[in-house]
């Protein structure tokens, strides 16, 4: 996977993750172009797009578009499922997720994504494991004063 973008129906970027090194200018250009193209598509249309030399796989969940760029030989359907799995993870974590959750807790959304995908590849496909890892890290937030090294060794996984 080359990058993943989340944007709203109004075209506002909500989350971006780039797995290939690109300049900021390039990123902005790609984002602008893609948001435009994807928003212009009708709901009954195919979830796949050929764009430049990449394949774009997108899916809309309520008012949010999830959009991934993959290479030609990659499997489009599984990418669609990656998106879905990510949404499932968000849903589980936030408890029926909505766009507001992602806006106000976007760094959490990034943490989940990092735990799920690493360097553009699916890292951990077990939903339980991903959430466990996130919870461990979050627990930190509540018990900051505690010594965490020992506790973590017992509890993580």
Binding to other proteins (CB under 8 A): which residues in 90-119? 91, 96-100, 103-107, 110-111, 114, 118-119
42-61 footprint of other proteins as x/- string (CB under 8 A): x-xxxxxxxxxx-------x
**Nearest distance from residue 148's CB to other proteins, in Å?**
6
Token pair of 37, please? 């193209």
DSSP H or E segment with residue 67: strand 64-70
Specify whether the CB–CB gap between 65 and 6 falls below 8 A.
yes
Binds other proteins by CB under 8 A, chosen from 11, 13, 66, 86: 13
Binds other proteins by CB under 8 A, chosen from 2, 15, 39, 92: 15
How long a stretch of residues is the chain?
157
Distance, CA of 70 to CA of 88 (rounded, Å): 21
Nearer to other proteins, 39 or 47 (CB): 47
Write phi, then psi, for 12 (nearest 5 degrees): -85, 130
Specify whether the CB–CB gap between 14 and 7 falls below 8 A.
yes
Distance, CA of 148 to CA of 143 (rounded, Å): 8
**Long-range CB pairs of 56-60, under 8 A, 24+ apart, other chains included:** 57/83, 59/83, 59/84, 60/9
* Count of residues near other proteins by CB under 8 A: 74
**Nearest distance from residue 84's CB to other proteins, in Å?**
8
21-40 footprint of other proteins as x/- string (CB under 8 A): xxx----x------------
Binds other proteins by CB under 8 A, chosen from 63, 71, 93, 135: 63
Contacts with other proteins in 120-139 (CB under 8 A)?
Answer: 121-129, 133, 136-137
Nearer to other proteins, 39 or 80 (CB): 80
């Amino acid at each position: 996977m080359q990058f993943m973008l989340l944007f709203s129906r109004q075209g506002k970027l909500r989350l971006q993750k780039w797995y290939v090194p690109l300049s900021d200018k390039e990123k902005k250009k790609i984002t602008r172009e893609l948001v435009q193209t994807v928003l212009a598509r009708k709901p009954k249309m195919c979830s796949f797009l050929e764009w430049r030399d990449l394949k774009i796989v997108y899916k809309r969940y309520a008012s949010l578009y999830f959009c991934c760029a993959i290479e030609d030989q990659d499997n489009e359907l599984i990418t669609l499922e990656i998106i879905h799995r990510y949404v499932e993870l968000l849903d589980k974590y936030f408890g029926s997720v909505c766009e507001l959750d992602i806006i106000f807790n976007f760094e959490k959304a990034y943490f989940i994504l990092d735990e799920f995908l690493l360097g553009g590849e699916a890292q951990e496909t077990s939903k339980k494991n991903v959430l466990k890892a996130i919870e461990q890290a979050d627990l930190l937030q509540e018990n900051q004063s505690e010594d965490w090294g020992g506790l973590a060794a017992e509890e993580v996984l």
